[in-house]
Chain A
Amino acid sequence: MPITTRLLRTLDALRPAPVASAHCDGPCGVYDPASARIAAEAVVSMTKKLLDIDMSAEGAHNTYIRFVAIKEEQAELTKRELNILWHDYFKPEHLEQYPDLHTTFWNAAKQASACKTSVSLDAANELMSQIEAIHNMFWASKGRDVPWYTAS
Protein backbone atom coordinates (compact mmCIF):
# COMPACT_ATOMS: atom_id res chain seq x y z
CA MET A 1 0.00 0.00 0.00
CA PRO A 2 1.49 3.39 -0.96
CA ILE A 3 2.52 5.60 1.93
CA THR A 4 -0.01 8.28 0.92
CA THR A 5 -2.84 5.75 1.14
CA ARG A 6 -1.59 4.52 4.52
CA LEU A 7 -1.46 8.08 5.83
CA LEU A 8 -4.98 8.74 4.54
CA ARG A 9 -6.31 5.61 6.20
CA THR A 10 -4.79 6.75 9.50
CA LEU A 11 -6.21 10.21 9.05
CA ASP A 12 -9.61 8.75 8.22
CA ALA A 13 -9.55 6.68 11.40
CA LEU A 14 -8.89 9.86 13.40
CA ARG A 15 -11.27 12.14 11.53
CA PRO A 16 -13.53 10.17 9.18
CA ALA A 17 -14.27 11.81 5.84
CA PRO A 18 -17.86 11.95 4.62
CA VAL A 19 -18.70 9.21 2.17
CA ALA A 20 -19.69 9.75 -1.46
CA SER A 21 -21.66 6.90 -2.91
CA ALA A 22 -20.69 5.49 -6.27
CA HIS A 23 -22.86 2.42 -6.07
CA CYS A 24 -26.37 1.14 -6.40
CA ASP A 25 -27.10 -0.27 -2.97
CA GLY A 26 -28.00 3.27 -2.05
CA PRO A 27 -31.53 4.30 -2.84
CA CYS A 28 -31.71 3.03 -6.41
CA GLY A 29 -35.36 2.59 -5.52
CA VAL A 30 -35.85 -0.62 -7.47
CA TYR A 31 -37.53 -3.14 -5.20
CA ASP A 32 -39.85 -5.98 -6.13
CA PRO A 33 -40.83 -9.06 -4.12
CA ALA A 34 -40.67 -10.94 -7.45
CA SER A 35 -36.97 -11.65 -6.76
CA ALA A 36 -37.87 -13.53 -3.57
CA ARG A 37 -40.83 -15.22 -5.25
CA ILE A 38 -38.70 -16.57 -8.12
CA ALA A 39 -36.12 -18.00 -5.70
CA ALA A 40 -38.89 -19.55 -3.58
CA GLU A 41 -40.50 -21.06 -6.68
CA ALA A 42 -37.17 -22.72 -7.42
CA VAL A 43 -37.28 -24.18 -3.89
CA VAL A 44 -40.77 -25.56 -4.57
CA SER A 45 -39.65 -26.99 -7.90
CA MET A 46 -36.53 -28.65 -6.49
CA THR A 47 -38.53 -30.08 -3.58
CA LYS A 48 -40.99 -31.67 -6.05
CA LYS A 49 -38.14 -33.06 -8.13
CA LEU A 50 -36.44 -34.48 -5.03
CA LEU A 51 -39.64 -36.22 -3.97
CA ASP A 52 -40.01 -37.72 -7.45
CA ILE A 53 -36.51 -39.19 -7.73
CA ASP A 54 -36.39 -42.95 -8.11
CA MET A 55 -33.49 -43.72 -5.81
CA SER A 56 -32.90 -47.12 -7.42
CA ALA A 57 -32.09 -45.51 -10.79
CA GLU A 58 -28.50 -45.16 -11.96
CA GLY A 59 -26.93 -41.88 -10.86
CA ALA A 60 -29.84 -41.15 -8.51
CA HIS A 61 -27.60 -40.27 -5.57
CA ASN A 62 -25.70 -37.73 -7.63
CA THR A 63 -28.95 -36.20 -8.89
CA TYR A 64 -30.36 -36.11 -5.37
CA ILE A 65 -27.33 -34.28 -4.00
CA ARG A 66 -27.36 -31.79 -6.90
CA PHE A 67 -31.02 -31.01 -6.32
CA VAL A 68 -30.50 -30.59 -2.59
CA ALA A 69 -27.63 -28.20 -3.32
CA ILE A 70 -29.82 -26.12 -5.63
CA LYS A 71 -32.66 -26.10 -3.10
CA GLU A 72 -30.24 -24.94 -0.41
CA GLU A 73 -28.86 -22.18 -2.61
CA GLN A 74 -32.27 -20.93 -3.70
CA ALA A 75 -33.61 -20.94 -0.14
CA GLU A 76 -30.60 -18.85 0.90
CA LEU A 77 -31.25 -16.48 -2.01
CA THR A 78 -34.89 -16.20 -0.91
CA LYS A 79 -33.72 -15.11 2.54
CA ARG A 80 -31.37 -12.55 1.07
CA GLU A 81 -34.07 -11.07 -1.18
CA LEU A 82 -36.49 -10.93 1.74
CA ASN A 83 -33.86 -9.20 3.84
CA ILE A 84 -33.30 -6.53 1.18
CA LEU A 85 -37.01 -5.72 1.18
CA TRP A 86 -37.19 -5.81 4.96
CA HIS A 87 -34.08 -3.69 5.68
CA ASP A 88 -33.89 -1.42 2.67
CA TYR A 89 -37.41 -0.88 1.35
CA PHE A 90 -39.62 -0.92 4.43
CA LYS A 91 -39.27 2.11 6.69
CA PRO A 92 -40.36 2.68 10.31
CA GLU A 93 -43.48 4.54 9.11
CA HIS A 94 -44.68 1.34 7.39
CA LEU A 95 -44.94 -0.26 10.83
CA GLU A 96 -47.94 1.90 11.66
CA GLN A 97 -49.67 0.61 8.56
CA TYR A 98 -48.46 -2.99 8.99
CA PRO A 99 -47.85 -3.68 12.70
CA ASP A 100 -47.02 -7.34 11.95
CA LEU A 101 -44.37 -6.40 9.35
CA HIS A 102 -41.41 -7.67 11.42
CA THR A 103 -43.18 -10.91 12.34
CA THR A 104 -44.13 -11.52 8.71
CA PHE A 105 -40.54 -11.19 7.49
CA TRP A 106 -39.15 -13.12 10.45
CA ASN A 107 -41.53 -16.01 9.80
CA ALA A 108 -40.81 -16.02 6.07
CA ALA A 109 -37.05 -16.13 6.68
CA LYS A 110 -37.54 -18.96 9.18
CA GLN A 111 -39.74 -20.77 6.66
CA ALA A 112 -36.95 -20.52 4.06
CA SER A 113 -34.66 -22.17 6.63
CA ALA A 114 -37.28 -24.89 7.21
CA CYS A 115 -37.17 -25.58 3.46
CA LYS A 116 -33.42 -26.13 3.76
CA THR A 117 -33.64 -28.59 6.61
CA SER A 118 -36.38 -30.71 5.04
CA VAL A 119 -37.61 -32.03 1.74
CA SER A 120 -41.18 -31.02 2.38
CA LEU A 121 -43.64 -29.76 -0.19
CA ASP A 122 -45.81 -28.40 2.62
CA ALA A 123 -42.87 -26.32 3.88
CA ALA A 124 -42.11 -25.02 0.37
CA ASN A 125 -45.75 -24.14 -0.31
CA GLU A 126 -45.97 -22.39 3.05
CA LEU A 127 -42.92 -20.31 2.05
CA MET A 128 -44.74 -19.30 -1.14
CA SER A 129 -47.86 -18.25 0.75
CA GLN A 130 -45.76 -16.14 3.14
CA ILE A 131 -44.09 -14.44 0.17
CA GLU A 132 -47.53 -13.83 -1.32
CA ALA A 133 -48.47 -12.01 1.89
CA ILE A 134 -45.30 -9.91 1.56
CA HIS A 135 -46.12 -9.23 -2.10
CA ASN A 136 -49.54 -7.92 -1.08
CA MET A 137 -48.14 -5.82 1.74
CA PHE A 138 -45.36 -4.41 -0.49
CA TRP A 139 -47.58 -3.31 -3.36
CA ALA A 140 -50.27 -1.99 -1.02
CA SER A 141 -47.59 0.17 0.65
CA LYS A 142 -46.90 1.70 -2.77
CA GLY A 143 -50.61 2.19 -3.45
CA ARG A 144 -50.49 -0.15 -6.41
CA ASP A 145 -52.67 -3.12 -7.21
CA VAL A 146 -50.27 -5.76 -8.56
CA PRO A 147 -51.85 -9.20 -8.73
CA TRP A 148 -49.90 -12.15 -7.36
CA TYR A 149 -48.70 -14.58 -9.99
CA THR A 150 -46.19 -17.40 -10.30
CA ALA A 151 -43.90 -18.40 -13.14
CA SER A 152 -44.68 -22.09 -12.91
Chain B
Amino acid sequence: MIFLDRRHVRGMGETMAWLVGRRRRVRVVGDSMLPTLAKGEFVLVDGTRTPAVGQLALARHPDDADLLVVKRVGAITADGRFEVRSDNPAAGTDSRTWGPLDPSAIVGVVTLVLDRPSSDLAAPN
Protein backbone atom coordinates (compact mmCIF):
# COMPACT_ATOMS: atom_id res chain seq x y z
CA MET B 1 0.00 0.00 0.00
CA ILE B 2 1.31 3.41 -0.92
CA PHE B 3 0.71 6.28 1.45
CA LEU B 4 0.35 9.69 -0.15
CA ASP B 5 0.05 12.82 1.89
CA ARG B 6 -1.97 15.84 0.81
CA ARG B 7 1.01 17.53 -0.79
CA HIS B 8 1.64 14.58 -3.10
CA VAL B 9 -2.01 14.47 -4.11
CA ARG B 10 -1.98 18.22 -4.77
CA GLY B 11 1.29 17.85 -6.70
CA MET B 12 -0.27 15.24 -8.96
CA GLY B 13 -3.38 17.38 -9.44
CA GLU B 14 -1.31 20.41 -10.40
CA THR B 15 0.86 18.38 -12.77
CA MET B 16 -2.30 17.06 -14.44
CA ALA B 17 -3.63 20.61 -14.73
CA TRP B 18 -0.37 21.61 -16.42
CA LEU B 19 -0.51 18.66 -18.81
CA VAL B 20 -3.98 19.72 -19.95
CA GLY B 21 -2.82 23.31 -20.45
CA ARG B 22 -4.37 24.94 -17.40
CA ARG B 23 -1.08 26.01 -15.81
CA ARG B 24 1.88 28.01 -17.12
CA ARG B 25 5.40 26.71 -16.59
CA VAL B 26 7.93 29.37 -15.57
CA ARG B 27 11.63 29.06 -14.75
CA VAL B 28 13.00 30.92 -11.72
CA VAL B 29 16.23 32.93 -11.91
CA GLY B 30 17.93 34.62 -8.97
CA ASP B 31 18.17 34.09 -5.23
CA SER B 32 15.57 36.44 -3.77
CA MET B 33 13.04 33.68 -3.06
CA LEU B 34 15.40 31.33 -1.27
CA PRO B 35 14.82 29.03 0.54
CA THR B 36 11.37 28.54 -1.01
CA LEU B 37 12.50 28.71 -4.65
CA ALA B 38 15.99 28.14 -5.96
CA LYS B 39 17.28 29.50 -9.24
CA GLY B 40 16.76 27.14 -12.15
CA GLU B 41 13.67 25.55 -10.64
CA PHE B 42 10.44 25.41 -12.58
CA VAL B 43 7.14 26.49 -11.09
CA LEU B 44 3.56 26.20 -12.27
CA VAL B 45 1.36 29.27 -12.31
CA ASP B 46 -2.42 29.42 -12.27
CA GLY B 47 -3.33 32.52 -14.24
CA THR B 48 -7.02 32.34 -13.36
CA ARG B 49 -6.56 33.03 -9.67
CA THR B 50 -5.61 36.05 -7.61
CA PRO B 51 -3.01 35.39 -4.91
CA ALA B 52 -3.99 35.60 -1.26
CA VAL B 53 -1.74 36.90 1.51
CA GLY B 54 1.08 34.42 2.07
CA GLN B 55 0.91 32.94 -1.43
CA LEU B 56 3.52 33.32 -4.14
CA ALA B 57 2.54 35.61 -6.99
CA LEU B 58 3.85 35.87 -10.53
CA ALA B 59 3.74 39.54 -11.46
CA ARG B 60 5.01 41.99 -14.05
CA HIS B 61 7.77 44.30 -12.83
CA PRO B 62 6.30 47.78 -12.30
CA ASP B 63 9.10 49.46 -14.28
CA ASP B 64 9.44 46.84 -17.00
CA ALA B 65 6.28 45.06 -18.15
CA ASP B 66 8.36 42.50 -20.06
CA LEU B 67 10.03 41.29 -16.88
CA LEU B 68 8.20 38.72 -14.78
CA VAL B 69 8.96 38.53 -11.08
CA VAL B 70 8.02 35.96 -8.48
CA LYS B 71 7.37 37.27 -4.96
CA ARG B 72 5.33 36.47 -1.87
CA VAL B 73 2.21 38.52 -1.13
CA GLY B 74 2.81 40.11 2.27
CA ALA B 75 -0.39 42.13 2.45
CA ILE B 76 -3.21 43.44 0.30
CA THR B 77 -3.86 47.14 0.78
CA ALA B 78 -7.30 48.59 1.51
CA ASP B 79 -7.56 49.68 -2.13
CA GLY B 80 -6.76 46.18 -3.40
CA ARG B 81 -3.08 46.50 -4.28
CA PHE B 82 -0.49 43.85 -3.54
CA GLU B 83 2.45 44.33 -1.16
CA VAL B 84 4.97 41.77 -2.36
CA ARG B 85 8.06 40.59 -0.52
CA SER B 86 11.16 38.52 -1.15
CA ASP B 87 11.65 35.47 1.06
CA ASN B 88 15.34 36.40 0.99
CA PRO B 89 15.09 40.20 1.35
CA ALA B 90 18.84 40.77 1.10
CA ALA B 91 18.87 39.42 -2.46
CA GLY B 92 15.84 41.08 -3.95
CA THR B 93 13.87 44.19 -4.61
CA ASP B 94 10.13 44.20 -4.03
CA SER B 95 7.38 46.47 -2.69
CA ARG B 96 9.92 47.96 -0.28
CA THR B 97 11.28 49.71 -3.38
CA TRP B 98 8.35 49.65 -5.80
CA GLY B 99 5.43 50.18 -3.44
CA PRO B 100 2.37 47.96 -3.76
CA LEU B 101 1.61 46.43 -7.17
CA ASP B 102 -1.60 47.16 -9.02
CA PRO B 103 -3.86 44.15 -9.53
CA SER B 104 -3.24 44.53 -13.28
CA ALA B 105 0.43 43.62 -12.66
CA ILE B 106 -0.50 40.26 -11.13
CA VAL B 107 -0.21 37.40 -13.61
CA GLY B 108 -1.21 34.52 -11.35
CA VAL B 109 -0.52 32.32 -8.35
CA VAL B 110 2.42 29.93 -8.08
CA THR B 111 0.86 26.55 -7.32
CA LEU B 112 3.73 24.09 -7.50
CA VAL B 113 7.48 23.72 -7.78
CA LEU B 114 7.77 21.20 -10.59
CA ASP B 115 11.19 19.98 -9.54
CA ARG B 116 9.89 19.22 -6.06
CA PRO B 117 6.20 18.32 -6.49
CA SER B 118 5.73 17.70 -2.77
CA SER B 119 7.38 20.97 -1.75
CA ASP B 120 5.76 23.37 0.66
CA LEU B 121 5.23 26.91 -0.63
CA ALA B 122 4.43 28.34 2.81
CA ALA B 123 6.57 31.20 4.07
CA PRO B 124 9.81 30.05 5.70
CA ASN B 125 10.03 30.52 9.46
Contact = CB atoms under 8 A, between A and B. Distances in A.
Interface of A: 2, 4-5, 8, 12, 16-29
B95 interface: no
B61 A8 contact: no
A12 B33 CA distance: 21
B105 interface: no
B63 A23 contact: no
Given A8-B114, A17-B42, A28-B93, A23 B30 contact: yes
Contacts of A18: 24, 26-27, 68
B61 A12 contact: no
Contact of B30 (A16, A24, A27): A24
Contacts of A24: 30, 32, 91-93
A12 B68 CA distance: 17
A24 B91 CA distance: 6
Contacts of B28: 19-20, 22
A56 to B, nearest CB: 48
A28 B64 CA distance: 10
Contacts, number: 82
5 contacts: A17-B26, A18-B68, A20-B27, A21-B29, A22-B32
- Looking at chain A's contact residues, the main secondary structure is loop
Interface residues of B, number: 31
Contact of B68 (A4, A8, A21, A28): A21
A21 B67 contact: yes
B101 interface: no
Nearest to A2: B115
B117 A22 contact: no
B99 to A, nearest CB: 13
Nearest to A8: B42
Q: Which 5 A-B pairs have the closest CB atoms?
A: A23-B30, A22-B30, A22-B33, A20-B70, A22-B32
A23 B42 CA distance: 15
